[in-house]
């Protein structure tokens, strides 16, 4: 994530503190990002195992 994206997320978090709809959307985005990272980590581990074998 670059600095501009990080700044945008910070701005969204600030705005979401007073906007329930935005807060829910931001929570959904965060959940999707966590799932994406989890899948990427699993793929990396899988690739490491196949390289070592």
CA distances from 38 to 18, 42, 46 (A): 30, 6, 12
Half-sphere exposure of 14 (CA within 13 A, CB side): 6
State what percent of residues in the chain have pLDDT above 90: 85
> In which band, very low, low, confident or very high, does the pLDDT at 52 lie, cut at 50, 70 and 90?
confident
Q: What whole-number distance in Å separates Cα of residue 39 and Cα of residue 42?
A: 5
pLDDT of residue 49: 84
pTM for the predicted model, two decimal places:
0.74
**Which residue ranges make up each domain of the chain?**
3-52
């Amino acid at each position: 994530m670059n600095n501009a994206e990080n700044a945008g997320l910070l701005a969204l978090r600030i705005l979401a503190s007073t906007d329930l709809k935005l807060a829910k959307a931001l929570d959904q985005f965060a959940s999707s990002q966590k799932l994406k990272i989890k899948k990427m980590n699993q793929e990396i581990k899988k690739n490491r195992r196949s390289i070592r074998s």
